[in-house]
Chains A and B, each alone.
Chain A
Amino acid sequence: MPKKITIEPVTRVEGHGKVTIHLDDNMNVVQSRLHIVEFRGFERFIQGRPYWEAPVLVQRLCGICPVSHHLAAAKAIDMLVGAGNGEGLTATGEKMRRLMHYGQIFQSHSLHFFHLVSPDLLFGIDADPSVRNIIGVAMENKDLAVQGVMMRKFGQEIIEATAGKKIHGTGAIPGGINKNLSIAERNRFLDGKAFPNVDQMIEWSLGALDFFKDYHKKNKDLIDNFAAFPSSHLSLVRKDGALDLYHGVLRAVDAEGKVILHDVDYRDYLDSIGEEVRSWTYMKFPYLKKYGKKNGWYRVGPLARMNTADFIPSPLAQKEFEQFRAYTHGKPNNMSMHMHWARLIEILHAAEMMKELLHDPDLQGEDLVVTGSRQFEGIGLLEAPRGTLFHHYRINEQDQITMANLIVSTTNNNEPMNRAVASVAKDYLTGQEKITEGMLNAVEVAIRAYDPCLSCATHALGKMPLEITLLDSKDQILDKKRN
């Protein structure tokens, strides 16, 4: 009898998702889907609000990456007040925002890798779930767990120093920033008295890369073949092709490395990118218009950024980037688990950039805001930890938002995550007589490689126990397991 397996909710992710896997009589996987089953509605209820509220209001989409939303919205609002499009700010304004953003990348990537992913690597995909968690990591490998916690703390402290609060701050305002970084604030990150300093962060980032590379050597099959499939890759790159997480032009490459979107001004994103709605999920499917709904999908995030960028403008991360690119002989890397490798390279890059910025006297500047003439449409893009983030607003003459369109990183990765789920479901479940928790965790491991956070994509929060329901073709419950 054909069967349908439901994994609901998906665990060690933020937000609510479920996976359904349909099996035929011979236990062959015939269809797998990742469903996003929550709905947020920010794009609707922000309508009517004054535009200057957007950076503060919309960041509430997320508790892990609020800074990304805060800054993407701020960049869009900069356009509305005539303060350029990510390039027209004062040196202090832009550098404070960049520091905030690197703090965000650093803390979010640390959370993603150490808290949510490392248990799978350290204990194995099919390990006992009561051990396979961050507490288990702390018991098994104290140093790794402590470093993870302290690295996240460092990033959060940077955010507080630049945005006023660790979560949901108010630093970026239309046309700039509301504070600079005092010498006393700066010194906290350099002297190592309150918490380990930025040099230690660089060292630990290198250590985390060594941990991953060592793991890779010992688990080549898993890291190289788990959920590996060819795809296009999209991200912002700096105009000279460098990795830039705050500002740039849109570039996409195909699975072979051919550039298929040529450094396009992101304000014209609507010419290049469309979004498809499918009835079984609240999350849309973006695609490159030129290649259509079927073939135009692409990946975003750390892996995509390593594939689109020509180089990384910080020396230690550049060295790691060269190794990363050499592994696939300069061709795009299409291995989902290499997302973690790419993520760790970005952690290192963020640490290096934070160090550079902390030594930059522009951060103590007094010229915080620029103004210009009013516009009625604003578009702001940046590279959030999980990938390219689009914010687009229109306002009326009374300063009220009339339209908001957000394409968040997770949405951009919708099709790839579905493909990854399908690939793993097929590899792990086909022909199996008994479905174990470990097999189903493998499906979740694929999702976690992309994103441990699903909520912002629909515009909840929660870590609930995994529930597995086994249904027949008439949706009658055959079995139910909860851990």
Chain B
Amino acid sequence: MKEFVTITIDDQEIKARPGEFIVDAARRNGIYIPTLCNMPGVKPAGSCRICTINVNGRLMTSCTTPVAEGMEIETISKEIEDFRKAVVELLLVEGNHFCPACEKSGTCELQALGYRLEVMAPRFPYQFPKRDIDAGNPKLVKDHNRCVLCKRCIRTILDEEGHHIFAFRYRGHQLQITIDPEYGMNMTDELAQKAAKNCPVGALLYRGKHGFEIPIGKRKYDKEPIGSDIEKLKKVKTS
């Protein structure tokens, strides 16, 4: 097996590890491809479609497409940017995302993507779905109004014995995350905090520590747009 494969991303030739996903290869090389459901090191779900790029002339999700020798990849174009923006806009109108009173505001990845992609006004009609808050778990409050169904909680929150604490239930537009009644009740504080942290939006709120405890100005995206940390890598490499 080859030690690396050569691919081209936005006219820049880079070396990628065989089998790694395009988004990870780009990230390592300081190229930011916007993501929402993706988490480094976690098996991708490809559910949000925000990381869509053009590979050899076809639109594909960079989080689920492994690199292959000679790939010609385009991450920025008018078409791609508009597509990504549309996805974010659709997510924003599909749920009830009222940033002003949300404790995740300033650290919310969906909100940060909205700013980064310059979502100024909705193109699509607000759905205003009627959804509930489930406050039955002693450690977490689950607000379905804000959930974007990224499956990050389902994929990353497992107890010590490997039981998944989160799962999907129902189908279609009623699909929602649910907490296992048995394992969820025994969730440790540490795991509950991890679930709230891994949630890219304000759908999972940890009861013990609230987002408002971080003052405005010190929240993750107050000073720099989402993706700046990745882009800094490139600057370091080129300087």
Residues of chain A touching chain B, judged by Cβ–Cβ distance below 8 Å, are 48-50, 52-53, 55-57, 60, 163-165, 168-171, 173-174, 178-179, 369, 398-400
Contact = CB atoms under 8 A, between A and B. Distances in A.
B210 A179 contact: no
Given A57-B101, A60-B101, A50 B214 contact: no
B213 A178 contact: yes
Smallest CB-CB A-B distances: 3 pairs = A164-B216, A398-B135, A57-B101
B214 A178 contact: yes
B223 to A, nearest CB: 13
A178 B210 CA distance: 11
Contact of B135 (A52, A178, A400): A400
Interface in B166-218: 205, 207, 210, 212-218
B187 to A, nearest CB: 16
A53 B101 contact: yes
A48 B133 contact: yes
Contact of A52 (B132, B212, B214, B217): B212
A483 to B, nearest CB: 32
Given A52-B212, A60-B101, A174-B210, 19 more contacts: A48-B132, A50-B133, A50-B135, A50-B141, A52-B210, A55-B212, A56-B100, A56-B103, A57-B100, A168-B100, A170-B215, A170-B216, A173-B212, A173-B213, A178-B213, A179-B215, A399-B141, A400-B133, A400-B135
A60 B100 CA distance: 8
B234 to A, nearest CB: 32
A74 to B, nearest CB: 10
Q: Is the interface of B mostly helix, strand, loop or mixed?
A: loop
A55 B101 CA distance: 9
A402 B10 CA distance: 54
Given A48-B133, A50-B205, A56 B101 contact: yes
Contacts of B216: 163-165, 169-170
Contacts of B132: 48
Interface string B71-110: 0000000000000000000000000000011010000000
A209 to B, nearest CB: 34
B53 to A, nearest CB: 36
Contacts of B136: 398
A387 to B, nearest CB: 25
A56 B210 CA distance: 12
Interface in B30-86: none
Interface residues on B, range: 10 to 19
B163 to A, nearest CB: 24
Contacts of A165: 216
Given A164-B215, A399-B141, A173 B133 contact: no
B90 to A, nearest CB: 25
A243 B138 CA distance: 43
A164 B217 contact: yes
Contacts of A173: 210, 212-213
Contacts of B214: 178
A164 B132 CA distance: 30
5 contacts: A56-B100, A173-B213, A179-B215, A398-B135, A399-B135
A74 B218 CA distance: 21
Interface of B: 100-101, 103, 132-133, 135-136, 141, 205, 207, 210, 212-218
A399 B213 CA distance: 17
A259 B192 CA distance: 53
Nearest to A57: B101
Contacts of B212: 52, 55-56, 170, 173, 178
Contacts of A170: 212, 215-216
A178 B132 CA distance: 29
A171 B213 CA distance: 8
Contacts of A60: 100-101
A60 B101 CA distance: 9
A163 B212 CA distance: 11
A400 B133 CA distance: 9
A57 B101 CA distance: 5
A49 B96 CA distance: 13
Nearest to A56: B101
B203 to A, nearest CB: 13
B215 A399 contact: no
Nearest to A369: B213
A60 B213 CA distance: 19
Residue with the highest number of chain A CB atoms closer than 10 Å, among B100, B135, B136, B218: B135
Which of B135, B210, B212, B217 is packed against the most chain A CB atoms within 10 Å? B212
A170 B210 CA distance: 11
B117 to A, nearest CB: 23
A49 B133 contact: yes
Nearest to B138: A398
B189 to A, nearest CB: 15
A274 to B, nearest CB: 30
Contact of B215 (A50, A171, A369, A398): A171
A173 B215 CA distance: 10
B184 to A, nearest CB: 14
Contacts of B103: 52-53, 56
A89 to B, nearest CB: 15
A55 B103 CA distance: 11
Most buried by B among A60, A170, A173: A170
A133 B130 CA distance: 44
A127 to B, nearest CB: 39
Nearest to A48: B133
A173 B216 CA distance: 12
Contacts of B101: 49, 53, 56-57, 60
Nearest to A162: B215
A4 B103 CA distance: 49
Contacts of A179: 215, 218
Nearest to A396: B135
A473 to B, nearest CB: 43
Contacts of A398: 135-136, 141
A369 B214 CA distance: 13
Nearest to A160: B216
A395 to B, nearest CB: 10
Contacts of B205: 50
Contacts of A55: 212
Contacts of A171: 215
A178 B215 contact: yes
A398 B134 CA distance: 9
Contacts of B207: 50, 399
